[in-house]
């Protein structure tokens, strides 16, 4: 995995964590912990002032979304 890809993965995980941590209802069962985050693209070419849209999918330890 290249340096840029690692940076994108880290940024996606960092962006997804607060959103996922804030999710959850008033149920009695706690929300499962996020074990990994998959991104919609494995690589992207970034150029100044351009945008890249990524979709982060959180997964628990059993691989469930």
Eight-class DSSP state of 32: P
pLDDT category of residue 65 using cuts at 50, 70 and 90: confident
Is the predicted pLDDT of residue 20 greater than 70, yes or no? Answer: no
User: Of 30 and 40, which is predicted with more confidence?
Assistant: 40
Structural domains counted in the chain: 1
Distance, in Å, from the CA atom of 27 to the CA atom of 46, rounded to the nearest integer, reads 41
Q: Quick check: is 65 in a domain? A: no
Distance, in Å, from the CA atom of 8 to the CA atom of 30, rounded to the nearest integer, reads 29
Look at residue 27 in the predicted model and tell me its pLDDT: 64
Q: Quick check: is 8 in a domain? A: yes
Domain extent, residue 43, equals 3-23+31-59
Q: What is the mean pLDDT of the chain?
A: 77
């Amino acid at each position: 995995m290249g340096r840029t890809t690692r940076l994108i993965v880290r940024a996606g995980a960092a962006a997804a964590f607060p959103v996922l941590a804030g999710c959850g209802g008033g149920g009695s069962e706690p929300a499962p912990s996020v074990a990994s985050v998959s991104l919609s693209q494995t690589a992207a070419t970034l150029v100044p002032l351009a945008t890249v849209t990524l979709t982060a999918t959180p997964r628990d330890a059993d691989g469930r979304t």
